[in-house]
Structure 1
Amino acid sequence: MRGAAWLVVICAALALGWRLWPPSPSWNPWTPLDVTAPPNLLTPYKLWRLRGDPGLCAQALASSTLKVIAQADTTGDSRCPLHDVVRISGGPVRMSSSFLATCPVAVAFALFERNVLQPAAQAAFKTPVVQVDHLGSFACRNIYNRAQGRLSQHATANALDIAGFRLADGRRVSVLKGWAGSAAEAAFLRQVRDGACTSFNTVLSPDYNAAHRNHLHLDMGPWRVCR
């Protein structure tokens, strides 16, 4: 049988198998991302699809337990326009204050909290995180506040800076003090940093440069960086 004929047979077999034994939603690349489902090999692809499809992103966000309020798009000739942004005020953990976030950042944060942050806290301290302390998300500025250069991901609320975490036993773990602190705190923060890279496109920590000595920068920009 020639190659083209084999290809037809294989495609027909795959189509029949798909109809007879359809994959679960989490393994179907065309179904919306379910934040409550265990991550798998398709999760990064489903996260990537959210960037260009506000409706699909809204469906994914609806599967989370984050408390969000949709925000109106900015109008006019704003230097830092906001589109498809929500305000996050809480969820499974408290926030030190509410913050603006693009829908993809909100979904990535929900995945991060569920699959990375809480397991890391249980492994290191045997107690959950109850509050995330952050330094903000939206700031209409260039990278590093330079007078020239490209806009920061913060300029479109596509980034979040996390300064530390509060645990159920009353302990606070800060990035500034904990990165070079006790063995448990240092291990926890590095596990959180490494795990965040499975949800966010860019994750910058004190290991990156001195500008990030007191926080973890998480964003859903186009560059893949994990340091």
Structure 2
Amino acid sequence: MFGNFKYISFTELIPPLVKRSGGLVVYTPSAAIAMELNQGTLVRAYRNQERLGLEQAKEILLELTQLPEAPFEFTGRPIQLVPDGLNYFLPNMMVDLVAHTNARPTYADQFIDPNTRFCRTEKDGYPAGIAGRFLIEASYWLESPKGASSHELSAHLRVSLETVLYNLYSLRQSGYVQALDAFRLQQPLNPAPARQGLWGRLVKGLRR
């Protein structure tokens, strides 16, 4: 898998990386950034072959999100988590950006409308870190048939709207939540069975 941040941003690249293991190399204007990934978890990171610590790696990740253009290449291969590895889950990156006040406006246009309703997906378990704790606290509302909006979750959990947006972004990237479409929201919880006969069959065919 290869491309350029000119056509797909680094944050948009994260969801497919969550499903893969291998090496990602990004050729920035100043250095070659190499990362070993295990299904979205950053195991090791290098800048021009110099191994990076966790805080250095986070700074590099922040730089990658701000690059308007940079070629990248991903090569799939087995990568094992190791005790001395970074073991940093990439979808948590956007949550961590809450701490970077100056970075917040840069990502405002990447968040979905606060009125959009979200629900839990069929993916089991909880991610590590802040996003996982948020999902545990918000699951009651996200598992309801109509889901919950960012505004509602902000009120229920008594946290800022910005915090909710960052967490939902992270959880959506890693496949734990999804947006509910307008058609599904308009459907009754227990829809009546379709009428039999020619008219019923026509309606059923149109719905398909």
State the TM-score, normalizing by the size of structure 1: 0.27
Query: Whose helix proportion is higher, 1 or 2?
Result: 2
RCO higher in 1 or 2 (8 Å CA, sep ≥ 6)? 2
Q: Normalising to structure 2: TM-score of the pair?
A: 0.29
